[in-house]
Chain A
Amino acid sequence: MIYDIRHVTTYSYESPVSFARCSLRLEPRSGDGQQLVSHSVEIRPKPAERTIRRDFFGTHTESVLIETAHRSLRIDSRSRVQVARQALARTAPSPSWESVRDVAFEASSLGPASPVGYVFASSLVPVLGPVTAYAAASFPQGQGILVSAIDLMHRIRHEFKYDPKATVISTPLREVFEKRHGVCQDFAHVMIAGLRGLGLPAAYVSGYLRTYPPAGQPRLQGADATHAWVSVWCGSEIGWIGFDPTNDLLVENDHIILAVGRDFSDVSPVDGIIVGSRKQKLAVAVDVVPVE
């Protein structure tokens, strides 16, 4: 499956902004069953400086410096990505979760793919007793990691309410968990916190999701947003597997990976510092259109 993705981020400021320094993580990665075909980013106003590097997690990161006064900042990212993933059967055999944990603890690499980087609390995902206890119900002694993680994902999908108005980016995990509501980012963080509490490696994935139109209706342009899900390390044989707790799905060909990190703060698509306006409005529009 090949997708054309358009991701437009627009900031509008009440008063002129004289300076902005931004980090952009907008280029979908190659690997994990997908291949980047083409990618471009257009920024208005035109930056004084653009530098590109790969960050620790392998994400293509662009640092942008804008020195002209502006009232709006528009970042228009276009990507074409080919996705061909081999899905794992939900019932596939997998090692016991305890053995996965023990192997992860003894890893001998600090690299971005090493499970050991994803078993500890991170800035937006604390390890909390109640969340660990919640997750533990899906992990009876000796049960396979795959079936256990699927059960946890299923419970989050059905016991948490999807509510875009309930949370903002800064809503702490504790509150999301207590009130049992939130959006994709919150569900991903809850699932990650539960898994890490048990000592299991769980990463945060940002990306896009193709949305199917309801039967008989045309697809709504711009109705989509950036999506987030969880990648769980299921032992050396199986490796990292994508779980989407917002949709109770194992990740297959409808998901396009943008970046992977420990939590949202590692992968935030547009991030930065401005000097100027106190009030700002943000609009994000995402289109994910299959080309063939």
Chain B
Amino acid sequence: MAGHAGSQDSKTRPGQRRMAQWTRDYARLPGIPDEYIGQDGAPRPAWARFFDAFAALSPADIERRFASADRHLREAGVTYRAPGETADRLWPLSHLPLIIDETDWRQLTTGIAQRAQLLEMILRDLYGEGRLVADGSVPAAAIAGSNEYLRAVCGVKPPGGRYLHLYAADVGRGPDGRWWVLSDRTQAPSGAGYALENRLVLSRAFSNLYKSMNVERVAPFFEAFRDALRASADRDEPRIGLLTPGAFNETYFEHATIARYLGFLLVEGDDLAVSGDRIHIRTVAGLKRLDVLLRRVDSNFLDPLELDASSHLGVPGLIDVLRKSGVVVANMPGSGVLEARALLGFLPNLCRRLLSEDLLMPHIATWWCGQKSAREEVLSRLDDFAIEGAYGRAVPGFPGSGPVLAGELSPPERERLRSAISDRGIDFVGQELVRLSTTPTWENGRITPRPFVLRVFAAATPNGWTILPGGFCRIADQPDARAVSMGDGARAADVWVVSDKPIAASTLLPAADTVRIRRIAGVVPSRAADNLFWLGRYLERAEATLRLIRALGTPTRDSGKGAPSGASTALHSVERIQRLLVTWGATSQASRANSAKVAAEALQSAEKFGSALSLLRSAQRTATSLRERLSPDAWQVITEMVERLSVEADDDDGIVSAAELSLQELASFAGLAQENMNRAAGWRFLEMGRRAERAINTARFARQFAYDEAGDEDLDVLLTLVDCQITYRSRYLVGPALAPVRDLAVLDPYNPRSVAFQVAALNEHIASLPSLKEHGLIERPQRLAVALQAMLTTAEAAALDVKALFALEQDLLNLADAIGLHYFPHGPNASRPEKLTGLA
């Protein structure tokens, strides 16, 4: 296959030389088709065009662009979680796209659209009239064996008029050069959001190359999907929620991406409630009707009342709402039954019967052993098949979740497999072993063929099925591509559907496939508000801790003078700072004597729950559940702070400078929130959390350092902690005096760090929030805030003794609790639904 790239210029132009070199080294796997090099040994035209342009970039430029793509992924926090792991993994992106020629793609899309329509028709019959089973077109056992066959929705007409709204198929190119279906995804297909991210990253990193390739854009597909979901609802401006299992799900990042991109509310089961014949979302303004639920929760977990009783991910009563046609659920619960491999072999006949057409796309030849003839076929040449579970991923009775290859089993295990198939053939299918095509990947400066699986997405629209031009491609690092899941060394790749003509001008506009961020729906779910409130509190508490650490490490004006000028029994200021850090759980008693040790622990200890690192980690955890509401920049700031503090500082200077850098970043987060955060997205709750926490901390600082006998040094520390050294000095020519310092820290309404300023801000926020009760009486949070503000407005600094400051602190804590109880009904004190127990 060498030499085909040779033209008269190949010896002179470095790009073509590089390309010739790559091509010569590109060793196709024997007997396996390849995407780049065709059956005839020549590169396919679309790929040749890509590599022509790609090779024109210098090696250094290529590496720089790859690095920029990786950086973008890291900064945007694109992550996934492998099943069974607790930590997020960074998204491994293959740097070369999978390139598919437009003509080839059209064939694939026709096949996918036909298949989607066929599956929709089968679902209608299975959960409706049941003619296909009655006349033997589909064996009853092939359906009954799937735990996605939901008896609870038999006979329920799907609200919105259809079962499948989003369908996906895993495909690969077979030895005959055609695209083959490996499996169907009808439950809640994942990957479309990652496809979107991959496109964003690669089209930015190679913007000119991307533009020159005439790549079809993916944005119109998502818009069509969103519009179709809107149209499925029974009112004009429907509210659409994306139901996620929560931040611990392996594809949570994707749920947040899709929700943010399409303007859906990201909701968990706890956010929803059945009321009347409808589903409602709990918001800070009370229950709001939800019209459409795009679910990423499997059917069986959707309703603990009628389905899996142990589920905490669903909504009790959801199935009953479906019976009353009160909500559109996409896809309709029970749609997953068609993912069973047992059905594959029956599809060609079903297609002729239901659509009067031949099935366009072949799938891997599959024998369901529930039928005698198929079972005998499989048993007669057991080694020629991959044995798979007929319904789920696992093969019943055998470990792991992949296929079982009889040829690789020990003789007794092989015999066990054989008798299992003889006894309960209904549980097994035999699938033909096929090798799928490979695609180029970039490894160490050269291109290497690797097998891949492509997930193609189809959305149901009023005008038929729309296919995402591109998809989610997973590239394996092992020869059998069917085993590709993101868990094991696999990488993802962007998929470019390219045309040799420029694509229509209207869709060509942006160089990169930019994401148009939509306005988030104007309701704030209580859980999101709760998380925002706590995010604000964690960040503010971290800031206070960092300020204490900095004060500990920075000599004050009067340090070295020994004991404070007040009573001799009073503690030294440094000891007071240490004592505060101890009561906050930032450090332990043992290291109280050594300031440097205290500072290091309070800054970086992973064990102390009150350390700056722990607080920022709590903030990060909380922010994880708010991904769809925070800008990528804001997320990045939090991640960077956590990363910095996770690396141990070298010395005392390192500690102080790490604290200072973190304080700067906290300020930049506050700026981002102030300037970039949509006011409708719950910004007020982030602000309220921050204000409440700052008020509490400042009151506590005032009590600790502006106590009745406080000396200069103490007052100086307080001025530093509340950032008022300059203000104080510009107002008062004398050194720090008790009453003026107290006034500045607690009562001054113009000082953005005073308690009074925070309380005024809280009042303003509370007044702007919707009232939940209709009785016209003032609600508790407002009552407390207004009273506090009146008190702070009229108080005199001289009268603010330790006792008064302590009372103020308690009032502020009560106010924070009252806000929580009032707006976040599932706060820690609220009761959750519980299952009735007992054998009755």
Contact = CB atoms under 8 A, between A and B. Distances in A.
A265 B837 contact: no
Contacts of A102: 372
B130 A110 contact: yes
B395 to A, nearest CB: 13
Nearest to A19: B833
A110 B840 contact: no
Nearest to B396: A127
B370 A105 contact: yes
B360 to A, nearest CB: 28
B144 A110 contact: yes
B423 A198 contact: yes
Contacts of B140: 107-110, 114, 116
Contact of A123 (B126, B308, B371): B308
Given A105-B426, A271-B309, A272-B305, A284 B840 contact: yes
Contacts of A57: 151
Interface string A249-292: 00000000000000011001111111111101010100000000
B840 A21 contact: no
Given A110-B143, A110-B144, A117-B144, A273 B831 contact: no
Nearest to A183: B839
Nearest to B424: A199
A196 B139 CA distance: 18
Contacts of A269: 840
Nearest to A185: B839
Given A273-B833, A275-B833, A226 B424 contact: no
B147 to A, nearest CB: 8
A63 interface: yes
B332 to A, nearest CB: 16
Contacts of B423: 198-199
B396 to A, nearest CB: 7
Given A108-B133, A108-B136, A274-B834, A23 B306 contact: yes
B189 interface: no
B141 interface: yes
Most B CB within 10 A of own CB, among A56, A120, A183: A120
B838 A282 contact: yes
Contacts of A183: 839
A275 B837 contact: no
Given A21-B317, A105-B141, A277 B838 contact: no
**Looking at B147, B424, B833, B836, which has the most chain A CB atoms within 10 Å of its CB?**
B836
Contact of B426 (A109, A110, A119, A270): A119
Contacts of B424: 127, 197, 199
B425 interface: yes
Nearest to A49: B276
A169 interface: yes
A99 interface: no
Interface string A111-127: 00010110110010001
B836 A274 contact: yes
Nearest to A53: B323
Given A199-B423, A226-B840, A275-B833, A120 B305 contact: no
A273 B840 contact: no
Given A108-B139, A110-B144, A282 B840 contact: yes
A106 interface: yes
Interface string B139-167: 11101110101011010000000000000
Contacts of B835: 272-273
Contacts of A214: none
A272 B840 contact: no
Nearest to B839: A169
B833 A63 contact: no
A21 B832 contact: no
Q: Interface residues of B toward A: which range?
A: 35 or more
Interface in A104-156: 105-110, 114, 116-117, 119-120, 123, 127, 129
Given A21-B305, A199-B424, A11 B836 contact: yes
Contacts of B317: 21, 273
B505 interface: no
A117 B143 CA distance: 9
A22 interface: yes
* Residue from B151, B837, B839 whose CB has the most chain A CB atoms within 10 Å: B839
Nearest to B303: A273
Interface string A172-202: 0000000000010100000000000111000
A226 B397 CA distance: 34
A114 B139 CA distance: 12
A63 B836 contact: no
A9 interface: yes
A199 B397 CA distance: 14
B33 interface: no
Nearest to B304: A273
B527 to A, nearest CB: 16
A161 to B, nearest CB: 18
Contacts of B665: none
B134 interface: yes
Contacts of B834: 273-278, 280
Interface in B636-668: none
A284 B833 CA distance: 22
Contacts of A276: 831, 834
Nearest to A11: B836
Q: Which of A114, A185, A273, A278 has the most CB of B within 10 A?
A: A273
Contact of B151 (A56, A264, A270): A56
A18 B143 CA distance: 41
B316 A169 contact: no
Contact of B154 (A56, A169, A270, A282): A56
Contacts of B838: 169, 282, 284
A185 B838 CA distance: 12
Nearest to A107: B140
Contact of B145 (A120, A225, A264): A120
Contacts of A127: 396, 424
A120 B370 contact: no
Given A105-B425, A108-B136, A110-B133, A275 B141 contact: no
Contacts of A21: 274, 305, 316-317
Contacts of A110: 126, 130, 133, 140, 143-144, 149, 154
B320 to A, nearest CB: 6
Contacts of A117: 144, 151
B837 A169 contact: yes
Given A108-B134, A269-B840, A116 B833 contact: no
A275 B144 contact: no
Given A63-B320, A109-B133, A119 B840 contact: no
A226 B139 CA distance: 36
A162 to B, nearest CB: 14
B139 A106 contact: yes
Nearest to A120: B145
Contacts of B136: 108
B151 A280 contact: no
Contacts of B143: 110
B370 A274 contact: no
B836 A271 contact: yes
B305 A271 contact: yes
Interface of B: 126, 130, 133-136, 139-141, 143-145, 147, 149, 151-152, 154, 274, 304-306, 308-309, 316-317, 320, 323, 370-372, 396-397, 423-426, 831-840
Given A185-B839, A275-B834, A280-B836, 11 more contacts: A110-B130, A110-B133, A110-B143, A116-B140, A123-B308, A129-B397, A198-B423, A270-B840, A273-B836, A275-B833, A282-B840
18 contacts: A20-B836, A21-B274, A21-B305, A21-B317, A107-B141, A108-B135, A108-B139, A110-B130, A110-B144, A117-B144, A120-B144, A123-B308, A185-B839, A265-B309, A269-B840, A271-B305, A276-B834, A278-B834
A-B pairs with lowest CB-CB distance, top 10: A282-B838, A56-B151, A273-B316, A270-B840, A116-B140, A272-B836, A273-B833, A9-B840, A116-B144, A116-B141
